[in-house]
Amino acid sequence: MADKQHHHFLFITSSHQGHISPTLHLARHLATSTGAAVTFSTTVFAHRRMFSSNQDLISDGLITFIPYSDGYDDGFKSEPSIFTDKFHSYVRTNSKRSVSEIVGNLAGRGQPVTCIIYTIVLNWAVEVAREHGILSVLYWIQTSSVFATYYHFFHGFESLIKTHIDDLSFTVSFPGLQPLQIRDLPSFVRVTNYDSADGSILCLFREMFEILDEEKERMKAMVLMNTFQEWETDALASFNVEIEAIPVGILPKETNSGAGYLFKEDEKKYMEWLDTKEDGSVVYISFGTMVEMKKEQIKEMVKGLKESKRPYLWVVRKDNREEELLEIEGGGDGMVVEWCSQVRVLAHKAVGCIVTHCGWNSTLESLACGVPMVCVPQWSDQGINAKLVESLWGCGVRSEVDGDGVVKGEELVRCLELVMGDGEKGVEIRRKAKMWKDEALVAGSEEFGELFELSSWVQLET
């Protein structure tokens, strides 16, 4: 343990809540379980929202928080049209310069960084590590199945997928993975216009895997995976000859703390409201922090909730409110909030299922809390996550959508009845949900060894 205390891990992540949350969980766990020094760095904009402060250096006694500048310290508009190669180049240049200064300043204060841990597509972090002669490790914050999909896409399957890109039902069989239809694949590998926003992000993923290929020429590349061995055994094995994948899934914990949150928790007493509901009766609806729900989808969701007659707790951003939503807030057995502590909600005995976009954080939290899922994937990795929930883990169902990608009200009712009803299918889904919750508790108790393995690897390489 004495040697491990000399390590100094610098975590680098982007400004998105879905990236900050799992990275901060791992940073805290690494600090507490190994005794290493840990510094956490996200963008200036996100840092100021997390702490409601302009103070650049903040410590909570366990982790030191120092922001880096990506050139957008006051934030930026998130319209897809701005995510061009020019945008990514600008962010890369500013971020690289800023993080390099942080590393230099820490060394100057007698706190040299021994390893940089960076999240997906922050490829410039590797350049910073190389410039300062320190190690870098990728923290893959999505499932191992998604990693495997990208890996095989860039290593032999790209041509096949591009040939059948317009046939959403075409089935692809990647090594070690269950068969996936084109519609299940990450949205970025399904792009046809490489000059688009999604096309520019695919280029970043390509570069990231090229970096891993370069690393494995020198030594076996290491990637930390935000998953558990028991959940994705076959996926983890599908690329382990080339890459050393270390599953370091961190179980979310119930907390009232807003540390790490970019959004202010709603003042409505939603937990007290849940206390008044029967066990397993409430439908919890959340589509994450990045997706803006279409007006038509809100309309259909309202229709389905009214028809189902089940109590509901619905999280909708303030800037995504529509007339139909305002109408439902005025009556019925439900509550609409702008932001809530999702883990506390999922852990509440009144929650019977979650209607989710299947972002990995929400999926992992639902699995860990034993909550069945109605899956409504939107983009990125969410299609594969929905496939895993329905076909591999068996603890939910994927909804069908119309030609515009909208889940109709009657389809929502069908899915809710399937998951929460008394039928044989619903009983089995709930049994599987509880089973995976129990598996998560066992897996979570074994993760300390993996973090010690990381520390030992850094010790060896340095």
pLDDT digits (tens, 9 = 90+) for 330-386: 456 899 998 888 999 999 999 999 999 999 999 999 999 999 999 999 889 999 999
Q: How far is CA 39 from the centre of its chain?
A: 21
Confidence of residue 192 (pLDDT cuts 50, 70, 90): confident
Lowest mean pLDDT among 117-121, 146-150, 184-188, 267-271: 267-271
Task: Give me the pLDDT at residue 411, please.
Answer: 97
Predicted local confidence at residue 242, as pLDDT: 79
**Band of residue 459 on the pLDDT scale cut at 50, 70, 90:** low
Nearest residue to 367 (alpha-carbon basis) of 270, 119, 359? 359
The structure tokens 């409110």 sit at: 321
| Strand 115-119 relative to strand 8-12, pairing | parallel
Over 90: is that where the pLDDT of 13 sits?
yes
Q: Return all residues near 191 (Cβ < 8 A) that are at least 6 apart.
A: 198, 199, 202
Could you give the domains of the chain? 4-250+447-461 (3.40.50.2000), 270-442 (3.40.50.2000)
Residue 265 pLDDT class (50, 70, 90 cuts): low
Tokens of 198: 């999604």
Q: What is the pLDDT of residue 111?
A: 95
Active site residue 348: no
Nearest Cα neighbor of 176 from 240, 123, 116 is: 240
Closest CA to 294 of 277, 310, 316: 316
Catalytic residue among 7, 8, 16, 19: 19
- Which position has the token pair 């030594």? 219
Question: What is the pLDDT at residue 258?
Answer: 47
Confidence of residue 180 (pLDDT cuts 50, 70, 90): very high
SS3 call for 117 = strand
Residue 318: predicted pLDDT: 67
Better-predicted residue by pLDDT, 46 or 445: 46
Tokens 């009214």, residue located:
306
Q: Comparing 263 with 271, which gets the higher pLDDT?
A: 271
pLDDT at residue 395, rounded to an integer: 97
What is this structure's pTM?
0.90
Give the Cα separation of 113 and 9 in Å (integer): 6
Average pLDDT score over residue span 213-234: 86
Question: Which CB contacts under 8 angstroms, 24+ apart, belong to 149-156?
Answer: 149/174, 149/177, 149/180, 149/185, 149/186, 149/189, 149/384, 150/186, 150/189, 150/205, 150/209, 151/209, 151/238, 151/239, 151/243, 152/238, 152/239, 153/185, 153/189, 154/205, 154/206, 154/209, 155/209
Q: How far apart are CA 389 and CA 411, in angstroms?
A: 18
Q: Are 180 and 161 in contact (CB under 8 A)?
A: no
